[in-house]
Amino acid sequence: MIGARTPLVFVAGSSRSGTTMMGHILGMHSRIFMFRELHFFERLWAARDRNRELTYDTAVTLAAHLMSIQRDGILFQGNPRRFTSHARTIIAALLSKAPTAAEVFREFLRYEAGQQGKDIPCDQTPRNVFYVRDILELYPEARVVLMVRDPRDVLASQKTKWAMRFKGLNDDPVSEALRLKINYHPVTTSLLWRAAVDAGDKWANHAQVHPVRFEDVVASPEATIRRLCHFVGVPFEPAMLDIPQVNSSFVGTTPTARGISGHASGRWRRGGLTRTEIYLCEHVTGHQMRRHGYAPAQVVPSSASVALSLVTMPLKAVGAFALNLSKIKNMPEAIRRRFVQTGT
């Protein structure tokens, strides 16, 4: 069934692994439209609902909600009823069939890409890495790009992302900045990176899955993107390398800066992490690091600093769980996908 329809592209990986950068690269192609992070699979869908047919009104509501996320952003959604006319058009394209939520999502992606004059949608939600099996089963035309980045740089980025709001580098709500601050801990963030990498690696050799290392993109951009274009099934376009430099946890967005920059690569070595954070990260992710070619620094921190970090971990984990509970449709399933039967 590969090639039966124009592809749906999904960019996934651990948070802060370069998924947004990759979305921008793909979105610069004349045929590919980059969506915002839609978080459909974890916030609006659950495996138990896979085959459940929606009523017309429920399907319209879902399509309008997706449109609101895309047009307004997931943190700033307005009233989805503003998009009811678009939603009805989307549902009408399903030929009066009672659709499933996944079918509404596919039709929404194609509709919105078409509204922007393009025919290949690209959803760049990182957490989709935990739903690769579902994506491949639901969408035979899917192409999944799996981003992998040095976990120490992921930690360095996660560690400072919350402060962007208070430095004037983004306009996220204060509540979101505080959630990000509480979310970060070197052990739990490393565990999440490990879970995401393990989930993706289970599909690394699938014909419809293409792993990409962040470091390869910044070191050899044209060669890496040419291979990616071949995978997606589109010709390489030089404009794909002329992306805006956005979403850095350290410098924010510089409107005039363009191109694929390596300034964020290796930030952990240049003061981005403490010795304790490096040690804990490598202890948790060592096997996966070696699998992807990341050499450990093997630093030796003080025992007191390691002990203090471990003591604070349970409190941070409980706080993060509480703050993220409302953002996930089925928390037990989300936990299972990460830490019990990841990626299966």
pLDDT value of position 146: 98
State the DSSP string of 307-344.
HHHHHHHHHHHHHHHHHHGGG-S-HHHHHHHHHTSTT-
Flag whether pLDDT at 253 surpasses 60. Answer: no
Place of tokens 């979105």: 27
Inter-residue contact 61 to 87 (CB < 8 Å): yes
Distance of alpha carbon 281 from alpha carbon 197, whole angstroms: 14
Structure tokens at 217: 């993109």
CB atoms within 10 A of CB 174: 9
pTM of this structure: 0.89
Binned at pLDDT 50, 70 and 90, residue 247 comes out as low
Distance of alpha carbon 179 from alpha carbon 189, whole angstroms: 14
Each residue's pLDDT tens digit, 36-49? 999 999 999 988 88
pLDDT value of position 282: 97
Query: Considering Cα of 112, then 257, then 15, then 147, what sign does the dihedral take?
Result: positive
Q: 43 or 247: whose pLDDT is higher?
A: 43
pLDDT value of position 255: 52
Inter-residue contact 80 to 64 (CB < 8 Å): yes
Tell me what the mean pLDDT of segment 105-111 comes to. Answer: 97
pLDDT value of position 147: 98
What mean pLDDT, rounded, does the chain reach?
A: 88
Each residue's pLDDT tens digit, 275-318? 999 999 999 999 999 999 999 998 999 999 999 999 988 888 88
Each residue's pLDDT tens digit, 117-157? 999 999 999 999 999 999 999 999 999 999 999 999 999 99
**Domains (range + CATH), the chain:** 8-31+119-339 (3.40.50.300), 32-118 (no CATH)
CB-based burial, 73-91: b 16+ in 10 Å, e otherwise: ebeeeeebeebeebbeebb
Look up residue 189 and give its DSSP letter: H
Tell me what the mean pLDDT of segment 65-79 comes to. Answer: 89
Nearest to 151 by CA among 190, 185, 102: 190
Each residue's pLDDT tens digit, 14-34? 999 999 999 999 999 999 999
